[in-house]
Structure 1
Amino acid sequence: MKKRLSFLLTFIMLLTMVMQVGVSAQSTYTVKEGDVLWRIARQYDMDWEDLAKYNNLANPHLIYVGQQIKIPTAGEEEVAEVKSNEVQISLLATSDLHGRIYPYEYAIDSADADAGLAKIQTLVKAERAASDNVILMDLGDTVQDNSAELFNADPVHPMIKALNYMDYDTWTIGNHEFNFEKSFLDNNVNTFNGSVLGANIYKTDGSYYVKPYTIIEKEGVRVAIVGLLPPHIDTWEAAAPQHFEGLAFEGTVESAKKTVAAIAGQYDILVGAFHLGKDGEHGYEGASAVAQAVPEFDVIFMGHAHEKLADLKVNGVTMIEPGAYGAALSKADIVVTKTADKFEVTSITPSNIETSGVEADADMLAEFKYVHDASLADANTVVGSISADYIENVDYITGEANVTTMPTSQVEDTALIDLINEVQLFYTEADVSSAATFTNNMNLVAGEFKKKDVAYIYKYPNTLMGVNITGANLKKYMEWSASYYNTYVPGDVTVSFDPNIRGYNYDMFAGVTYDIDISQPSGSRITNLLMNGVAIDDAKTYKLAVNNYRFGTLLGLELVTEADKYYDSYSEMQDAGRIRDLIIKYIVDEKAGVATPSLDNNWKIIGNEFEHPLKAEALEMVKSGAIEIPTSEDGRTPNVKSVNVYDLIKDGKFTEYQSLTLLHTNDMHGFFVEGQYDGMGAAKLKTVFDMYKGMSANTLVLDAGDATQGANLVTLSKGEKAIEVLNALGYDAMTTGNHEFDYDQAQLLKNVSMADFPVLAANVKKADGTDFLTPYVIKDVNGIKVAIFGLITPDTTFLSHPDNSVGLTFEDPAAVAATLVPSLRAQADVVVALVHLGDEGGVYTSSNLATNVTGIDVIIDGHSHSTYPNGNVVNGTLIASAGEKTKNVGIIEFALKDGAVISNGARLFTKAMSLNIEGEPTVAALIETIKAENAVIENEVVATTPEVLLGERDDVRTGETNLGNLIAESLLDISGADVALTNGGGIRTSINAGDITKGEVLTVLPFGNTVRVIELTGADLVAAIENGITDYPEAKGAFPHIAGMMVEFDSSKDAGSRVTSLKIAGEEVDTTATYTLATNDYLVAGGDGYTMFTGKKVVAEFGAMDEVLIDFINASGTGKGAITDRIKDIAELTSAFFYELFDIAA
């Protein structure tokens, strides 16, 4: 059975890697625990002395776990010598040591098998014993964490002393070096014996704070090493500007370019020693961006991301990162060849040497035993007691204390987060507090309360801030936090987290009650937000408690200002004001030394329908290890994909079940070119379709109508080019929409005959009672029988030109379905109604169909351009709709067992999700061909004008123009409505006097909008005009261009109360009367603020506005566009009248 495409791609990548390993295994051997050189040599029928000589081992008896031993390839008669004109340089690097000398984590009082500089020292000694050409670098985040702060007052900090002890050549400053007073950083810089690097850190006088680079020479080879770090220190440490006082930070790429240019010609090997991950974050550029911009780098050593990488190349630059805490020593063996006047790099061999299994260096352990002893003693200082466990099940699924799936502390309220917030509220006297989970396994367990317990639950040395924040900005902050969750999709039985967001950036709040609706997109998830039972007031100011890091975040998000800060624990208490210390102080002083769990359950996740017949079995698979929940690529965010039963069926985890996937679109209107305001386009549609077909062969692609009319890409050929595109996309069936009837019946039937798939409509009959189109089709999808029938709205007879439906009868969709479905039900496992009915008013809606007809498994709908993120369920029937213009692909998943549907669910693949995928080349080429053919048509002269038709941006958005009038008049003419209105933002340019080409009209009206006629009241008309003139005299895209009415307004009045007169046919509008308005489909959907148009009854529809305008000009000329003051500002007249009154009075 096929795997999901993502797993398939992973498998292919892994297979490639395995094949590479298989090849390299013939020439290298990785040392394992217990290995000695003579045994390795014997495996390859070699003398151990020859093997030692081949590998340049100065001490053959000193090899270490993870070391790569080169094995001569078959046929080599002699052990190779390093050529006399070659030099090998070994570059070694550590990063993100975070206070670890011993292989020990003091916060949990436990040994760490793959951590600590003492283990790194064992590896470094071996490397130096093998070669004198070794350069050792540390990439930053060195002096913070793991009780390292205990020694901040030492003349030389133990971590700096350890780097010196090991003879590090360079140290790049990391962002966590700035967590403390600037004087502490200065001391560390001054006491490090090697070169401290940071090319993007400047003093206020413009000079460098530390060296931007250093050049080290080995056997005449000049190695230049450039240091960089994230430039966001001033944001992250914004709450404590004294930490970076007198310093400024520059962008990474900018600094790299500048530095490399400055040292051109001075090096043979160029090395990056960056405290940067491969990817940027928070708006700055990462190491990959530097490699793209500055390909002169031979190798870039990376840090910050805590990721292990040794097989990455970007733009020809070798990239390597050792992970964190001393888990590995990154190594790059660089061979350079001496030429007549320089050295040239001929090979770079990157690797990460793991420290797991490596013995810590005994001499170093002895040297720094005082650090270990003091850290242990401090960690085990008893400060109170814990009455009960704060979290009973630390792992949400397994219940274990070690998280392997997802932390309970991030999916529901816990007493632990409540404790942190309780402390913060107490000391700041705030209304609201926020806190995050810093360690997945964090918990307080019944027993003695020791300092290490606090370090474990609060990893960072943050201080506490109190800030004033408006209710509106509090909501924005909470929405920012809630973006941590992935959006729920049907079939999910667990919550999951966004892989691009770190857990420390997900905050949970106290002082308020709220729900997080994960069925909604990011930015729209916080609901039922109350304080003491009262809704948060957007305009009111509240007091908020946050840590200093989050204060910097809020400054960056522009949700607070520096002036909003009213409390700073560091200013009040210095080091005693760190939140870790405040937690201890609170328990000791306020709780008599006894920490007792208290849980208020003030928030919860909603919008997740996790109940599914297969849920329990799926979770058991997780517990047993049969299903592994993935982490982010860098390993720092757990649980980045929800357990989804439909995926599991596709993956063959439930062998008794079958999956069925329906991909669907609707109302595409020929918008097959990706555009800023349109959808993903046809080429990306094809990529998405192929992707899901790759995940499961049980996949069908369906369309619910209005695909062949709208954009000029397809209308110029009367829909024929649309059929070509649909064929290339591989559709299995579609229903006709009303706009397919915008062409005459002969053209519609020609288009149908061109299609490689059936076009369905069960309720359209010819005069003799026979079917006009195929009513239904039954597909056999690998043994699953899928019946698909089509329905179209009977309103087609007036929504499209009435002449195009002459001789046809459009029967009641529900009545037809009620007769047809029982028959289909008897023949099929799944029954699909592919309909073009919509959900806007009237009786012919998809909801009405679901209410009156049972036995349909899913209704795939079009016509109203509705977007249902997870579908709607009406009378037990799922209704799905994917919006319009290729903005989404609808995805419906079915689980079946023994031919019966067990469950189904709907979701969307959105345009936003398509941003990082490539369009399928064949379809992309087809679109380009159609565009080229259309270009010939667009050069055709279609009309003439004796004058310039004014459509410049500033003109159409601030007042009446002849082109705006002409467009409004064309709408009025074709529709026969009472009045017409279009928005200035939809008019994009002017038309010069003389011949008018089709292309010129398309440039004026590029959006493919169609004409719609709606019924509305006079009050709605007045509201519409008010909406369009709110910003006057400033430009606004909503400015109304009108026909059939005369409007006067007073711009000196408040927005919303400016219209003083609105006349139709010479009479003042009756606000209670009903009128018909011709406008465009964008405004009917509420675009440009015309929300008063949404939900109104659509009484007629016509074609594209560009065609309507061309026909009108040819029939009536351009005279009706003349300026007539049909929308006029009378403010100046009013002012003049009052001035005159004042003069008379005087």
Structure 2
Amino acid sequence: MRHFVQEPVGGQTSRVNLRILATTDLHMNILPYDYHADREAGGWGLARTEKLIEAARAEAQNVILLDNGDSLYGSALGEGIAPCVENDISVHPMIHAMNHLRYDAVNLGNHDFDQGRDAVFDAVKNARFPVLTANAKIHENPYETTIKPYTLLRRQVVDELGFMHDLCIGVIGFLPPNSLQQAKIQTDDIVEAALRHIPEMKMLGADVIVVLAHSGLGADAHVPDMENVLRPLSRVPGIDAIIGGHTHQVFPVEDNDKIHPETDDNNTGLLNGVPTVMPGFWGSHLGIVDLGVEFGDGRWKVCYKAASLKAVKEHSTHTESTSATQSGSLESLFSELHETTREAMRASVGEIAKPLDNYFTLVGADSATRLVQMAMMDHARNCQRALGLEGLPVLAAGAAFKSGGFGGPDYYTSLPAGRLTQRSLSDLYMFPNSFELVKVSGAFLRNWLERSCSIFNQVFPSQRAVQLKDDGVPGYIHESVLGLTYEVDLVQPARFTPAGVDTGRENSRVRSLCCNGREVQDVQEFLLATTDYRVLGGGNYPTPFAEDILPVAAVEIRDLLSNYVARQNLIELDCAPTWRFSPVKDASIWFRSSPDGANAAPGYPWLRLTELEAKDARGFTRYELEL
């Protein structure tokens, strides 16, 4: 193809094809390796996405690469174990990887602030690309030169005839509102911030505007401070493409072919006519938006739009893939840190008497989460004594982060009896969430549990093999509360939608709610051990009043878990169920879990399980539970 830095004869402009590549929610998963299980991972890892990036770049001439946030934390790789060095400077591992892959701009997500604002700015200071957030109020000294609301990427692009043109690509970033209160950072509503900044970007010369919104699809109608807002955001004038994320879901549906849509639905990649992608999580997918733009009437106009996803392919083993990789790849670049991390994760911290697993967390049987809750409850009791609140019952809320779903049939926690290592603790609790202690009422607890069990579908008497929850609903939304016993009545409609929107219904799924064998009263007071994520409304859980959040020292759940395990000689758990489903006459539900769950099932004798399918198309076993 010819390349001339001039306009075609007669002022006629051929179409310029612009390709936008995107990742999201990498959570420090640079290599395709599960450090919790000490084995190669299937279906994710930025080192595998790298191959898709290379192929997608080779197919097009005008390409930019973007990331949509939550990249800095979430994997054991590089969590203070050893620094990466770039030009004799210590660099955060993910920034090192993104510099290597030549990212053009990166948005910040809420979990990028899990270690505080100073840690974020220390991490991104060596980025060779703009770092963005437009609705978090952090654009003051000394950080205003590091993080911007938006960037204008001025690029020379080639049209289909081989002529060169100047094109200004505006990229703006947003993160979920009200998600940074622990970092003491105020946020604005995403749609309102977009309405404010996008005309400004146009005025400064942006020809094409790409939105990096660390947010899910959400409802169609906009309400202030929506967490998942892509649908109403797509109606903001001037947006040419949207990259979504945050919910770890994929959009549009996976397809090996490009999609040139004419209508708006989950198969098209269009939201109100705007091409949109949500590229999964941990590098599982590469989002691709292709725009065709033509120059006319003094400005560039989009004349073609398509959105698609590419899923990574699995390799046989990490060793084989590393040896077969060129020296300039991410796997080569991080090979030394990889081995250092594996060694650090093998350090012994304690011992357990029986195996721990969470294969059946969605049906009330989860010994792995139980250990985390015990550690939280132990720490809460220490805080209780210091606060002089000994008279109140102490409870601990917890969820299984690793609960299958889009993570696949291996994405569960399973630890054998015997030695616990640092790897084990990271497997039990993956994220750097912090401990919070809240004074709550019985009414608040009931509402909390109603939100938890809202992810389950309704079941009527005599219905057989009803799917417990829809595939697109994350299992980690469901929480149990240690210190209570209760039943969940699936005959009742849920008080909340699976996304957490209050339906206004007065009915209750939570039955026989008791503490220490006595029925919980609405006005009764408790101390609830939970996390900063939940206190701030993560997962659209009810949020307590500020005065009910008790003043306790900041400590990560993983640290208090490590301290608890280290103090025990041998950990023995009482795995009796905190909750059960209420009986429903002649009814049953089915759910997906790992094939390995069959070996763990005898540890939960109250579960009446049968196998419906040993291995489905995704590798899961389908289990049926009698109600």
Give the whole-Å Cα distance in 2 for the aligned partners of 1:149 and 1:599: 34
Deviation at 1:415, TM superposition (A): 2.7
Mapping 1:565-964, distance limit 5 Å = 565-566=549-550, 568-570=552-554, 577-589=555-567, 591-592=568-569, 594-610=570-586, 622-624=612-614
For residues 466 and 415 of structure 2, what CA distance do their matches in structure 1 show? 25
2:505 matched residue in structure 1 = none
Report how far residue 202 of structure 1 moved.
2.2
Query: 1:600-653, CA deviations, whole angstroms, 9 ceiling, x for partnerless residues?
Result: 3342210423458x99xx987722458x8999xxxxxx99x99999xxxxxxxx
**Equivalent position to 2:401, from 421, 425, 438:** 438
Mapping for residues 540-559 of structure 1, pairs under 5 Å: 540-553=524-537
Residues 176 and 226 of structure 2 are in contact (CA less than 8 Å); yes or no, is this contact kept in structure 1?
no
> 1:508 pairs with 480, 485, 490, which one?
480
Q: Does 1:454 align with 2:393?
A: no
Q: 1:567 to 1:435 in 2, by over 3 A?
A: farther
Could you tell me which of 208, 219, 225 is aligned with 2:170?
A: 225
TM-score normalised according to structure 2 size: 0.75
Work out whether 1:328 is the aligned partner of 2:285. yes
Spell out, residue by residue over 1:202-245, the C-alpha distance to the aligned partner (whole angstroms, 9 max, x if none): 2487998623232332233424233333333x3x454xx2x2x3
- Equivalent residues of 1:200, 1:212 under 8 A apart: no
Equivalent positions of 1:517-536 (< 5 A) are 517-523=489-495, 524-536=508-520
Tell me how large the CA RMSD over aligned residues is: 3.7
C-alpha distance in 2, partners of 1:163/1:500?
Answer: 29
Q: Provide, for residues 99-133 of structure 1, a one-character-per-residue CA deviation record: whole Å limited to 9, x for no partner.
A: 02211121221212432222333343445556552
Alpha-carbon distance in 2 for matches of 1:583, 1:106: 18
Q: Tell me: CA distance 1:554–1:102, structure 2 relative to 1, closer, same or farther (3 Å).
A: closer
Q: 1:525 to 1:336 in 2, by over 3 A?
A: closer
Q: 1:512 to 1:328 in 2, by over 3 A?
A: closer
Q: Using the alignment, how far apart are the partners of 1:328 and 1:476 within structure 2?
A: 36
Query: Against the structure 1 CA distance between its residues 284 and 548, is the aligned structure 2 distance closer, same or farther, given a 3 Å change threshold?
Result: closer
Cα deviation, residue 356, structure 1:
0.8
Does residue 255 (structure 1) correspond to residue 193 (structure 2)? The answer is yes
Q: Which amino acid aligns with 2:510?
A: I
8 Å CA contact retained: 1:308, 1:320? yes
The answer to whether residue 125 in structure 2 is matched with residue 183 in structure 1 is no
- The one of 412, 435, 443 aligned to 2:364: 412
d(CA) in 1 for partners of 2:470 and 2:42? 29
Structure 1 residues 489, 558: CA separation in 2 closer, same or farther (over 3 Å shift)? closer
Scaled by the length of structure 1, the TM-score of the pair is 0.42
Separation in structure 1 between the aligned mates of residue 279 and residue 70 of structure 2, nearest angstrom? 13
Q: Is the counterpart of residue 267 in structure 1 residue 202 in structure 2?
A: no
| 2:250 maps to 1:308 | yes
Q: Contact 1:432 / 1:511 at 8 angstroms: preserved in 2?
A: yes
Could you list the per-position Cα deviations for residues 710-737 of structure 1 after superposition, in whole angstroms to 9, with x for gaps in the alignment?
xxxxxxxxxxxxxxxxxxxxxxxxxxxx
Structure-1 separation of matches of 2:459 and 2:551? 38
Deviation by residue 1:986-1024 (Cα, 9 ceiling, x = unmatched): xxxxxxxxxxxxxxxxxxxxxxxxxxxxxxxxxxxxxxx
Alignment-mate amino acid for residue 271 of structure 1: V
| Amino acid of the structure 2 residue aligned with 1:519 | V
Residues 1:537 and 1:329: Cα distance change in structure 2 (over 3 Å): closer
Structure 1 residues 478 and 119: alpha-carbon distance in aligned structure 2, compared to 1, 3 A threshold: closer
Q: How is 1:945-984 mapped onto 2 (pairs within 5 angstroms)?
A: none
Q: 1:478 to 1:629 in 2, by over 3 A?
A: farther
Contact 2:216 2:227 in 1 (8 A): no
Q: 1:148 to 1:229 in 2, by over 3 A?
A: farther
Partner Cα distance (1:642, 1:283) in 2: 36
Please name the residue that 2:99 is paired with: 164
Instruction: After superposing the two structures, state which structure 1 stretch, 543-552 or 283-292, moved more.
Output: 283-292
Q: Report the residue type matching 2:239 in the other structure.
A: F
Match of 1:89 in 2: 18
Amino acid at match of 1:199: A
1:212 and 2:141 matched: no
**Cα gap change, 1:183 to 1:409, in 2 (>3 Å):** same
Return the structure number with greater relative CO, CA threshold 8 A, min gap 6: 2
- Structure with greater helix share of residues: 1
Task: Work out whether residues 459 and 587 of structure 2, in 8 Å CA contact, stay in contact via their aligned partners in 1.
Answer: no
1:294-320, Cα deviation, whole Å (9 max, x unpaired): 3x3222222223233343112221112
Distance 1:333 1:519 in 2: 46
Residue deviations 1:544-594, cap 9 Å, x none? Answer: 211222222399866633332335352xxxxxx3222322221221x21x3
**Percent of aligned pairs with the same residue?**
23
1:350 aligned partner: 307
Counterpart mapping for 1:1020-1039 below 5 A:
none
For 1:743, the equivalent position in structure 2 comes to none
Structure 2 partner of 1:367 = 333
CA displacement, residues 421-446 of structure 1 (integer Å, 9 cap, x when unaligned): 21111111162111111111223222
Q: Which has the larger radius of gyration?
A: 1
Contact map agreement 2:136 2:175 (CA 8 A) in 1:
no
After superposition, give the CA deviation of every residue in 1:330-377 in whole Å (9 maximum; x if it has no partner).
223333334474433332343333331586554232222232122212
Instruction: Give me the whole-angstrom Cα distance separating, in 2, the residues matched to 1:463 and 1:285.
Output: 23
Q: Is 1:199 matched with 2:134? A: yes
Q: Once the two structures are superposed, what CA deviation does each residue of 1:834-877 show, in whole Å capped at 9, x if it has no partner? A: xxxxxxxxxxxxxxxxxxxxxxxxxxxxxxxxxxxxxxxxxxxx
Cα 1:321/1:477, change in 2 over 3 Å = closer
Q: Distance in 1 between matches of 2:94 and 2:534?
A: 27
Residue in 2 aligned with 1:378?
344
Specify the SS of the correspondent of 1:119: helix
| Structure 2 alignment gaps of length 5 or more | 4-11, 84-89, 158-164, 253-267, 316-320, 382-392, 404-411, 496-507, 592-607
- In structure 1, the gaps of 5 or more residues are 1-52, 57-82, 395-406, 571-576, 632-637, 646-1146
CA shift in 2, pair 1:357/1:471, >3 Å = closer
Structure 2 residue corresponding to 1:299, chosen from 225, 241, 262: 241
Q: Equivalents in 2 of 1:644, 1:257: separation in Å?
A: 52
Q: Hey, what's the Cα distance between the residues in 2 that align with 1:321 and 1:602?
A: 36
2:441 aligns to what? 470
Q: Which of the numbers 438, 443, 451 marks the counterpart of 1:480? A: 451
The number of residue pairs the alignment matches comes to 525
Aligned residues of 1:495 and 1:642 also touching (Cα < 8 A): no
Distance in 2 separating the partners of 1:204 and 1:131: 35
- Counterparts of 1:585 and 1:324, CA distance in 2: 30
In the alignment, does 2:545 pair up with 1:561? yes
* Partner AA of 1:321 in structure 2: M
**3-state SS of the aligned residue for 1:248?**
coil
Q: Per the alignment, in what secondary structure is the counterpart of residue 191 of structure 1?
A: coil
Q: Give the counterpart letter for 2:109 in structure 1.
A: G
Q: Which residue of 2 aligns with 1:672?
A: none
Partner of 1:940: none
1:622 and 1:221 map into 2 onto residues whose CA distance is 59
Judge conservation of contact 1:454–1:583 (CA < 8 Å) in 2: yes
How far apart, CA to CA, are the structure 2 residues paired with 1:530 and 1:285? 34
**Does the aligned pair in 1 maintain the 2:587–2:626 contact within 8 Å?**
no
2:80 is aligned, of 141, 144, 151, to 151
CA 1:316–1:369 in structure 2 vs 1: closer, same or farther (change >3 Å)? Answer: same
**Which structure 2 residues correspond to residues 1011-1026 of structure 1 after superposition, within 5 A?**
none
The amino acid of 2:39's aligned partner reads S
Shift of 1:526: 2.1
Alpha-carbon displacement from aligned partner over 1:644-675 (angstroms, at most 9, x marks no partner): 99xxxxxxxxxxxxxxxxxxxxxxxxxxxxxx
CA distance in 2, matches of 1:643, 1:588: 37
- Secondary structure of 2:550's partner? strand
Identify the residue that residue 288 of structure 1 maps to in structure 2: 231
Task: Write out per-residue CA displacement over residues 910-930 of structure 1, whole angstroms, 9 at most, x where no aligned residue.
Answer: xxxxxxxxxxxxxxxxxxxxx
Residue type of the partner of 2:481?
Answer: F
Match of 2:521 among 537, 542, 560: 537
